A = this chain, B = another copy of it.
Amino acid sequence: MNVRELTEGLEIDIVLLVRERAQERVTLADRTASLSAVVPPELLELCVPGACVRVSGRIERGRLRVGALRHARTDEYVLEDLLDGPRIDLDRMESDLRELIATVQCVHLRALLERVFGHGTETWLAFREAPAAKRYHQAYRHGLLEHSLTVAQGVSAISATFGGVDRDVAVTGALLHDIGKLDAYTSDPRAIDMTDLGKLQGEIALGYYRVRRLIEDIPGFPPELAAAVLHIILSHHGQLEHGSPVVPCTREATLVHMIDNLGGRLGSFDRLEKALPDGSRWSGYDRALGAGAWFASRERQAA
């Protein structure tokens, strides 16, 4: 039985992961969904984010009223079942990534991508594990790979619709745009958090340094090409007030920024739909959308 399947009135006794705690409010979760829990005060101390807990209680008005709660023994659960994860499995994502990289024609960009994503490189080992965020969309193991790959696929799919785009540069920039998150987030999948460097320097500067430093070591990398790629990383938030120190001033940077943005917004719908009670068509007000999200009925779509 997983959280997605829990229904009103059910009595449960299962292992869950503590996702968050704000005062008395505790969020428990497994891979399929999360659940608000009412925890007796004397048990609150055990609810440290990242802990796996054995919990029994009853679902009342959509929340779990906790009766008993203790640390779970490691033989009581499989960690993978408790952690949220990508829609597609890792192997498939890796092969999709290698396929996409293979379409990049420019030898310099290929060399750069090889240094980042090459089998056995330290970067690749970290990249494929890393989350894409602290909370919300893709805040889980492999999330960074999933996000970067999807954005790059979107960039690739649409790059021919509008003229004048240098596809190689755009796809490379899309794959690397969030690489600073390797330094900006901790990698413990049970309790993702920002690092000191993440807070003090920001993921954009960190990613810029990483890629510029790598390029510095590739012989013959054309300076102008370097500028084009680094500009994508620096400008991909699109506006100064969103943390980019420069705004996009090339077609490729504009494209990566917009598809990244699109991915983020559509990701909000995924997140809201997951949390939608059965029978509901409207989510609550969502800050990212500036409105509630509306999900048309599936029936018509099938018709």
Residues in A lying within 8 Å of B, measured CB to CB: 44-45, 61, 87, 106, 150, 153-154, 157-158, 160-166, 169, 196-197, 199-202, 204-205, 208-209, 212-213, 222, 224-225, 227-228, 230-231, 234, 239-251, 254-255, 258-259, 261-263, 265-267, 269-270, 273, 281-282, 289-297, 300-301, 303
Contacts and interface: CB of A to CB of B under 8 A. Distances in A.
Given A44-B61, A158-B157, A294 B200 contact: yes
28 contacts: A44-B61, A150-B161, A154-B158, A158-B262, A162-B266, A162-B267, A164-B269, A196-B224, A199-B282, A199-B292, A201-B245, A202-B245, A204-B245, A209-B209, A225-B296, A239-B290, A241-B241, A243-B246, A244-B245, A246-B291, A247-B290, A249-B294, A250-B269, A250-B294, A254-B265, A254-B269, A258-B262, A258-B265
Contact of A255 (B201, B225, B241, B266): B266
A222 to B, nearest CB: 6
B289 A200 contact: no
Nearest to A235: B200
B293 A231 contact: no
A292 B246 CA distance: 11
A201 B227 contact: yes
B289 A248 contact: yes
The 7 closest A-B pairs by CB, nearest first: A241-B241, A202-B245, A154-B161, A162-B266, A200-B231, A249-B291, A258-B262
Contact of A230 (B199, B200, B292, B294): B200
A211 to B, nearest CB: 11
A258 to B, nearest CB: 4
Contact of A240 (B61, B154, B197, B241): B241
Contact of A157 (B44, B157, B163, B265): B157
A105 B266 CA distance: 23
B249 A289 contact: yes
A291 B201 CA distance: 12
Given A199-B291, A254-B265, A296 B166 contact: yes
A202 B262 CA distance: 24
Contacts of A240: 240-243
Nearest to A168: B301
A259 B292 CA distance: 21
A251 B227 contact: no
Q: Choose among A225, A255, A265, A270 the residue with the greatest number of B CB atoms under 10 Å from its CB.
A: A265
Contact of A224 (B241, B259, B300): B300
Most buried by B among A224, A242, A246, A270: A246
A164 B266 contact: yes
Nearest to A222: B300
Nearest to A227: B200
B290 A266 contact: no
Contacts of A231: 200-201, 294
